[in-house]
Structure 1
């Protein structure tokens, strides 16, 4: 149905005469700019436009497509780089060069490329929504499972085998329904699942401060808040590269153009440590920078989570990085102000917490309707102005997520990376995952982690006294605690993302490193009780050599040599 523009207010346009439903996609103006209905009042509809509306005037035509904003799901998603509304940037670049013009559209999936379809069902089989009817080798290491769209069911009347484009029917049901390798799904509606399961396995990231101190479960939610320059993007890139998931969806929702450009340049060059092939072969990138229209920034988050849900339904583990949800919230704030809605705290809309909840709740470890188990782990970066964690986006995120990795500007200034503050961060999955750690890492893993956290906590309390009177004025047992805490900070928590060996630390290596520090603490405490001077205990050379073993390729041999030397040195101290 066609109507016309009544009023233009930046990215928000009021139209009349189209009789839409909420969230219908409309084409605005002579150029056919894409927009989405976000409010209906009698005969007027308010549309948020996903492109620049400069020069658009009242009276220009508006056409209602009658369909909600949807994404195309099928073979070809991996290795793609999209904008916020799933237009492939490479296709747009071929059409118009480096600068995207208004009103240009492109299919999310290539309609010309042919894929080898191998059916897994036969004539006469009954299928329903979520069932797998065939497979396609999308990339060398990822098998794309072609599923029946939710809501469709029937008996297979015909199924084909061979090379087809994504829009060619490959299976026909007895009721006449034609199934292709592609399906569309509305981005604002979560894909249905058979059952939500309790997360019971950690997301292994290879980052000691995350795995060791504040683990996130597969299917869990985490937030990384921090000021500019504290390492949010590097941390998320490390998670994308090393976390033990099958698929990575990276959403750049409103970050600075230079940061997103770095991601677009670096990701295609990253090597997947699991396979030795390009990491992009299991990655989908969604790029939406801060100078792009704000409405498209808001849509980019939903586009990304819908793609993640699609791969989860195949039975894959997916990690989704959203960088940054603060820019997404700012887009909502701008749209809300254009709509003249009553503002909440700091001008954000009153429904901010509801929208954040809707997004994070789409994470989870689930049983899909096909019987496959899959997960989506959502990790959202938050960029509070000036690093102020009391602002609304950080506080509302805190109420929702179960893991909080708080980045600290002071730590980054000291070149302590990852600059995650161990005193303000937390994980609510620690207890639920303790059984997994006991079975798969070591029976005393939880005890060791608690020992480390207690030492770091005590150090924080003692620092106030040290600043007043100096560490030499403390009792010797407290001086020893300060030294052990320093070792935990510098030897265990610090990790070099750019070092070929230290960039990833397996659980076994983490455990042995932590155990070695704990061993030094036990031996030092025992020596102190027998009358050995604290200065002699602290001057043990093997202790400082522990700092180097994490960079050694043959970690086991290097650690054994250090521990042997430590035993010898403490034996000599006891002899004195």
Structure 2
């Protein structure tokens, strides 16, 4: 007997004949075939999470299992495409159905008609194991796509296609397995979104992901394969900062997940990204970007799936030996989707109504980041950067606290800095990074003495913050001349080093060499300022601190020698 719906509660649907399904099965619900997934089984009932609007779904409608888990298609065609949370291509659906996604709308994630130029990389008779690179496809002018043998498939290569153009439905190779069966290999394969892709070895995060933002790279660096959280209240610049990181960081592939954000905000992203120029190649940035858009007015369950869709695609590019940066904006909306579904399931709530498994789900997501040795013996990485939107700017709420437990870089966005038009609005004392000690050796090769200069800069910021407490009580008259100079030095550090303008042609991106040279010059000048006996009211002009603050905008990353020359300026 076929299963039928017996209860409907928003995105949660219950059907009978639970023995026909397994946990995680993808199902089609109702006459229109709404996409769903099995999330709970009892002896008599099967609970489904439906990724589409269940309006007009009736009791007694059929439920059909697919026999496989919710999976994504991985192959040429991912780049430049905009998907929803369950990997439906939005542009193709718009062409077919118009501006609205109708119930049960289906479209292949990857085009079945487009032909791709395939170049084989293996010879017949070779023994291959899962993850091996069998050929190349120049997907975009910026990215050469490596065609992988699906993990779990191994055997002797008995056929491989000649160089030429093939669609995704054309077999390009055949593998003879140990049991004598032959399996066709295509340009693409499917992978369940909730299962990590296997790797050969996890490597230490000892290479920095250069973002070009000094407050991040110098004070709170993140490693390739690392994890970072960016919490901030409304209007503090989370989305803008992530856009800046996507454009300037030295990752090969960008995965951008718009998870539950406002529709107009996501629209701005979708319009801006195709127009952005890749500073490395001069070509459109979208050529090495995959975008997943799931706005706040889309079905809430698909918002929960979008995070897993994005991280699975990121792992696939990592397995090709590429460095991938994943931007999730925002994980708070993902957690809210978990809370709503948990409430529909009548589960016992934990803190602020969130489910008790919120910490484990958060950890599960961030643990899929990392720098690895792939099955093809390549080195690749996935760096996960998640924005967090605490309601009312309350950083003690559960999503922020649990995220902080599982990430090693914490960039807290401060509303006072943001409203003062200080960009990036990352608080220099409330933020931290546990990667600093791992990456110090790399930075010391760029600039000997970097660790000493960085520690001195942090110490200066702490000392100045303590002095501000005295100023609030006694006023500046209560400070000594040396203490006033310390506050002057803090202004130089904040305005001349930590602050950057996205509109400054020479300072919107700072190379590691420029960052290290600016740091050395500013620390050297501040030492001289604090040791000098000149009164504070005259010291600003004597040490040309205004000119020093403007140095970052006047000299670019290719003019480091001119920056270092400032050590000789008296």
| TM class, shorter-length | over 0.9
Q: Deviations over 1:211-231 (max 9, x none)?
A: 010000100000000001000
* Residue 390 (structure 1) aligned to one of 388, 396, 400: 396
Q: 1:151-550, aligned counterparts within 5 Å?
A: 151-161=152-162, 162-174=164-176, 175-439=181-445, 441-528=446-533, 532-540=534-542, 542-550=544-552
CA RMSD of aligned residues (A): 1.3
Contact preservation (8 Å) 1:552, 1:558 = no
Q: Provide the rounded CA distance (Å) in 2 between the counterparts of 1:514 and 1:474.
A: 27
Pick which of 23-32 and 541-550 moved more: 541-550
1:488 to partner: Cα distance:
0.5
Name the SS for the 1:91 alignment partner: helix
Pick which of 539-548 and 240-249 moved more: 539-548
1:71 aligns with 2:72: yes
1:512 to partner: Cα distance:
1.7
Contact preservation (8 Å) 2:529, 2:543 = no
Structure 1 unmatched runs, 5+: 568-576
1:551 aligns with 2:553: yes
Name the SS for the 2:448 alignment partner: coil
1:128 to partner: Cα distance:
0.8
1:539 to partner: Cα distance:
2.8
Q: Deviations over 1:96-132 (max 9, x none)?
A: 1111111110111000000111111111111110011
Q: Provide the rounded CA distance (Å) in 1 between the counterparts of 2:211 and 2:477.
A: 39
Contact preservation (8 Å) 1:549, 1:558 = no
Relative distance call for 1:461 and 1:553 in structure 2 (3 A) is: closer
Q: Provide the rounded CA distance (Å) in 2 between the counterparts of 1:524 and 1:321.
A: 41
Q: Deviations over 1:332-355 (max 9, x none)?
A: 000000000000000000000000
Name the SS for the 1:304 alignment partner: helix
Contact preservation (8 Å) 1:2, 1:64 = no
Q: Deviations over 1:196-252 (max 9, x none)?
A: 111111100000100010000100000000001000001101111111110000001
Name the SS for the 2:509 alignment partner: coil
Relative distance call for 1:130 and 1:560 in structure 2 (3 A) is: closer
1:436 to partner: Cα distance:
0.8
Q: Provide the rounded CA distance (Å) in 2 between the counterparts of 1:563 and 1:411.
A: 30
Q: Deviations over 1:501-555 (max 9, x none)?
A: 2210111111221222212212223322xxx322221232621011222112555
Match of 1:109 in 2: 110
1:499 to partner: Cα distance:
2.3
1:558 to partner: Cα distance:
5.9
Q: Provide the rounded CA distance (Å) in 1 between the counterparts of 2:567 and 2:390.
A: 44
Q: Provide the rounded CA distance (Å) in 1 between the counterparts of 2:486 and 2:194.
A: 52
Q: Provide the rounded CA distance (Å) in 1 between the counterparts of 2:22 and 2:183.
A: 26
Match of 1:570 in 2: none
Q: Deviations over 1:178-201 (max 9, x none)?
A: 000110000000000011111111
Contact preservation (8 Å) 1:194, 1:369 = yes
Q: Provide the rounded CA distance (Å) in 1 between the counterparts of 2:75 and 2:145.
A: 8
Contact preservation (8 Å) 2:521, 2:564 = no
Q: Provide the rounded CA distance (Å) in 2 between the counterparts of 1:116 and 1:227.
A: 47
1:10 aligns with 2:10: yes
Q: Deviations over 1:432-478 (max 9, x none)?
A: 11111111x21111111111110101111110111122223211111
Contact preservation (8 Å) 1:472, 1:479 = no
Which 4+ residue blocks in structure 1 deviate beyond 4 angstroms? Answer: 553-558, 560-564
Q: Deviations over 1:29-80 (max 9, x none)?
A: 1111101110001121000110110111111111111111000000010111
Match of 1:574 in 2: none
Pick which of 163-172 and 328-337 moved more: 163-172
Name the SS for the 1:539 alignment partner: helix
Structure 2 unmatched runs, 5+: none
Contact preservation (8 Å) 2:30, 2:63 = yes
Contact preservation (8 Å) 2:470, 2:478 = no
